[in-house]
Chains A and B, each alone.
Chain A
Amino acid sequence: MSDDVTPPVLELVSVTKTYQVKQGMFAKPKPLHALNGVSLKLNRKDVLGLVGESGCGKSTLAKILLGLEMPSEGQVLVDGKEITAGERRVLARRIQPVFQDPYSSLNPRKSIEDIIALPLVVHGVGDSASRAQSVTKMLDLVGLPARVRRGYPNQLSGGQRQRVAIARALIMNPEIVICDEPTSALDVSVQSQILNLLGDLRDELGLTYLFISHNLAVVEHLATRVAVMYLGQVVEEAPSQALFANPRHPYTQALLDSVLTPDPSLSVPETYLGAAYPNPISPPSGCRFHPRCAQLKDICRSMPPPHILGPDGHVDCHLYAAATTQ
């Protein structure tokens, strides 16, 4: 895979993002590593599911990919070329977001047509006639009736709004769409329609998705690869089927255990995780997951886990160290 001729559409090479957090009026600010050496690859038409608890750095990662934040260290490569500061517009042409809450991500004072055409205006693409044409095409693509173009967001249902958000993301013909919890604000029956739409669009337009979600059933359904994040690090990454069939990292196992499948013969599972998500300003020593780990060993307290490459993917855990060194 590594000596493939075509470089991945998008690659992160040990990206670190550090924020300085104020500790008080006279105290020195402390660094918070929102992302800590994250390396990821997205190939064309991949759907990379990104899962993890709140505060693990999923949204920081999305912001960096959208060019809203610059990494403190590491590189973001698009088609093998590094993106540097000041190239936000270049990035924005190729990577577009769909946000979680279609009620707050659409400007209530703009008509649907203006909302969808805005990226074209910002990038100075075409004249008003060609923009109107593109909007017509987009509305059709996402399955909205043409009459809504003169309407306003408050006249639309949640599912229709999310379709508008998708149309807005796709009007620049991006290659990569970052979906940050795109269905969690929607009702069940609408959620499935949006998921179907995202799947269809991927097949039709050859899109690549970064799919951030905490609904693991949805991730399993849509993703081709899955990356599990914990405290700013990707602790396990693997093809979706392999990861769900055979989760290796204890954190991944706990996450999968907590999925509530609709089976009335089962009760609520016990995850043994404990409630305490550690403070990211002073992360635990050794393996960052060790205070919550069910398979804790002595070495986990002191030594950071090794980065163990599998046939396709990786896991950061002491449990699998013995297997590779011997």
Chain B
Amino acid sequence: MDDPILSVRHLTIDIPLAQGTMHAVRGIGFDLKRGETLCIVGESGSGKSLTSLAIMGLLSKKLRQKAEKLQFAGLDLRNQTPRMMRGLRGDRMAMIFQEPMTSLNPAYTIGDQLEEAYLLHRKAGKAEARARAVELLGKVGITAAESRLSQYPHQLSGGLRQRVMIAMALMCEPELIIADEPTTALDVTIQAQILRLLSDLQREMNMAMILVTHDLGIVARIADKVAVMYAGEVVEQGTAAEIFDNPRHPYTRGLLRCIPVPGKTKPGERLGSIPGIVPSLVGNFQGCAFRGRCDVAEPICSEMVPVQEEGQEHMWRCIHAAGEGASEGVSQGVRP
């Protein structure tokens, strides 16, 4: 069958701190095929950005990273030298960062920054790289592309800068693209355009895409697969329809209750919330990380968390079985 282009198994990232080791990412795994979009959702500190940096090989050396498997297009990313990783980044895998203001170099023109990766990886001439840059700027919907090449980042608006970032990531037609909150800094109108553009280009170039975000609206509209991260773990994973129509993990259910949905939530009605805070991940941690905030937690949750599966892709980490509504059915079956 179709082999996944990216395969991650049991990835852990530890951060050594003065007060102990922080287990920021605790054994996550997923597969991604060409042309597929995986959305990683989670709150700040859940490890979603670290995971994407780990795949790109951009983690600081101070962090300890381990994985049973970290394979990209048949290459084992665990034993690539820094030089080999540099050869991959910008060529076969590329990243779009959140803040176009800080991730573009203010001292270089848009043209220079666009062409850099192409000149480096494709051993192309300046003219060829320039032509490619113009082509890509046109593709991301920037008019008068030629004249833009000599402009500096500060001369562009936020939406245009983000388009330049996308064009830059696509210069060498990567097989994998990782977008870390690509639209958080933008207006809603521009957000819709950028997301549409990304998904159109992804389909056109048959790229695999990982989109890191905390906006459930974006996830629902763009994802094929969703991984919900909490405290360094993927607590639930499945297709977009499974996650939104049939969420199993209490955290996913909680998140979905927190957002006002036009047409469903009555105006002014109290929104659901998840009380409490994310536990500290410093030191040894056992059991379910969500138990302190979970309304269906039980004593056994502090000891073990089984992985449950349903269908082909749907997986979640919770003691509560499939079909049991976390807030409805379960509470009756449990002892008082």
> Taking beta carbons and an 8 Å cutoff, which residues of A are in contact with B?
53-54, 157-158, 187-193, 195-196, 199, 214-218, 220-222, 240-241, 244, 254-255, 257-271, 273, 275-277
Q: Given the known inter-chain contacts A188-B255, A189-B255, A275-B159, please indicate yes or no for A240 contacting B267, CB distance below 8 A.
A: yes
Interface string of B284-327 (1 = CB under 8 A from A): 00000000000000000000000000000000000000000000
Known A217-B262, A221-B260; further 11 A-B contacts with Cβ < 8 A: A53-B189, A54-B187, A192-B259, A195-B271, A216-B188, A241-B267, A260-B215, A262-B219, A263-B221, A263-B244, A271-B189
B43, B190, B221, B261: which contacts A275 (Cβ < 8 A)? B190
Contact A218 B260 (CB under 8 A): yes
> With A262-B244, A264-B244, A264-B245 as given contacts, are A196 and B270 in contact (CB-CB < 8 Å)?
yes
Chain B min CB distance to A273 (Å): 5
Taking a contact as CB atoms closer than 8 A, the residue among A217, A222, A276 that contacts B259 in the complex is A217
Given contacts A217-B260, A221-B271, A275-B193, contact A189 B159 (CB under 8 A): no
Contacts of A189 in B (CB 8 A): 43, 254-255, 258, 273-274
A273 closest partner in B (C-beta)? B189
Q: Which of B240, B261, B269, B275 contacts A264 (CB 8 A)?
A: B240
Q: 26 A-B residue contacts at CB 8 Å?
A: A53-B189, A189-B43, A191-B259, A192-B257, A192-B271, A195-B271, A196-B270, A196-B271, A199-B270, A217-B260, A221-B260, A222-B268, A257-B192, A260-B195, A261-B261, A262-B216, A262-B261, A263-B220, A263-B221, A263-B244, A264-B223, A264-B241, A264-B244, A269-B192, A271-B192, A275-B160
Q: Mark B201-234, 1 if CB is under 8 A from A, else 0.
A: 0000000000000111111111100000000000
* Known contacts A264-B240, A264-B241, A188 near B217 by CB under 8 Å: no
Nearest Cβ on chain A to B190's Cβ, whole angstroms: 7
Contact partners of A214 in chain B: CB under 8 A: 187-188
Kindly state the separation between the CA atoms of A59 and B268 in the bound complex, as whole angstroms: 25
Structural contact, B267 and A254, CB atoms closer than 8 A: no
CB contact under 8 A between A221 and B265, given known A189-B273, A191-B258, A214-B187: yes
Measured in the bound complex, the distance between the Cα atoms of B15 and A266 in whole Å is: 39
Point out which of B159, B160, B218, B221 has the most chain A C-beta atoms below 10 A from its C-beta.
Answer: B221
Asked if residues A196 and B273 are in contact (CB atoms below 8 Å), the reply is yes
Most A CB contacts (10 A, CB to CB) among B158, B268, B277 go to: B268
Contacts of A267 in B (CB 8 A): 199, 221-222
B272 at interface by CB-CB < 8 Å:
yes
Which range contains the number of B residues in contact with the other chain? Answer: 35 or more
Q: Choose one: B158, B217, B255, B257; the contact of A260 (CB below 8 Å).
A: B217
Alpha-carbon distance A264/B277, docked complex (angstroms): 28
Partner of B158, one of A54, A241, A255, A269: A54
Closest chain B CB from A153 CB (angstroms): 16
Least distance between B227 CB and chain A CB atoms (Å): 15
Residue of A nearest to B239 (CB): A264
- Chain A residues closer than 8 Å to B101, beta-carbon distance: none
> CA A190 – CA B274 in complex, angstroms?
8
Residue pair A188, B262 in contact (C-beta under 8 Å): no
Contact partners of A192 in chain B: CB under 8 A: 257-259, 271-273
Contact call B157/A277, Cβ cutoff below 8 A:
yes
Rounded to whole angstroms, the CA-CA distance of A261 and B223 in the bound complex is 13
Q: Give chain B residues whose Cβ lies under 8 Å from the Cβ of A244.
A: 262
| CB of B43 to closest CB in A, whole Å | 4
- Picked from B157, B189, B193, B259, the residue with its CB within 8 Å of the CB of A262 is B259
- Taking CB as reference atom, which chain B residue is nearest A160? B277
Q: Which of A195, A240, A254 counts the most chain B CB atoms within 10 A?
A: A195
How many angstroms from the CA of A57 to the CA of B6 in the assembled complex? 45
A242 CB to nearest B CB, Å: 12
Q: Which residues of A contact B265 (CB under 8 A)?
A: 221
Q: Are A268 and B192 in contact (CB under 8 A)?
A: yes
A267 to B200, CA, bound (A): 11
- List chain B residues, Cβ under 8 A from A270: 192, 196
Using known A-B contacts A196-B271, A264-B245, A268-B195, determine if residue A188 contacts B259 with beta carbons closer than 8 Å.
yes
B163 at the interface (CB under 8 A from A): yes
* Interface residue B4 (Cβ < 8 Å from any Cβ of A): no
Q: Does B44 count as interface, using CB distance less than 8 angstroms?
A: yes
Residue among B189, B215, B244, B275 with the highest chain A CB neighbour number at 10 A: B189
- Cα A255 to Cα B193 with chains together (Å): 12
Chain A residues, CB < 8 A from B59: none
B272 cross-chain contacts in A, Cβ below 8 A = 192
- Return chain A residues, CB-CB under 8 Å to B263: 261
Residues of A within 8 A of B199 (CB): 267-268
Contact indicator A255/B221 (Cβ below 8 Å): no
- Closest chain B residue, CB of each to CB of A199: B268
| Bound complex: CA A315 to CA B223 (Å) | 37
| Residues in chain B near residue A263, CB distance under 8 A | 220-221, 244
Closest Cβ neighbor of A276 among chain B residues: B143
Contact A264 B217 (CB under 8 A): no
CB-CB under 8 A from A255, the residues of chain B are: 188-189
Q: Does B191 contact A (CB under 8 A)?
A: yes
What is the CB-to-nearest-CB distance from A230 to chain B, in angstroms, rounded to a whole number? 11
In the complex, A254 Cα to B191 Cα: how many Å?
A: 12
Residue ID in chain B nearest A258 by CB atoms: B192
Chain B 163-189 near chain A by CB (<8 Å), digits 1 or 0: 100000000000000000000000111
B141 adjacent to chain A (CB < 8 Å): yes
With the chains together, A215 CA to B269 CA distance in Å? 17
Which of A189, A222, A254 is most buried by chain B, counting CB atoms within 10 A of its CB? Answer: A189
Say yes or no: is B256 at the interface (Cβ < 8 Å to chain A). yes
Contact assessment for B217 and A259 in the assembled complex, using a CB-CB cutoff below 8 Å: yes
In the complex, A191→B244 CA distance in Å?
A: 19
Indicate the member of B217, B222, B244, B270 with the most A CB atoms within 10 Å. Answer: B217
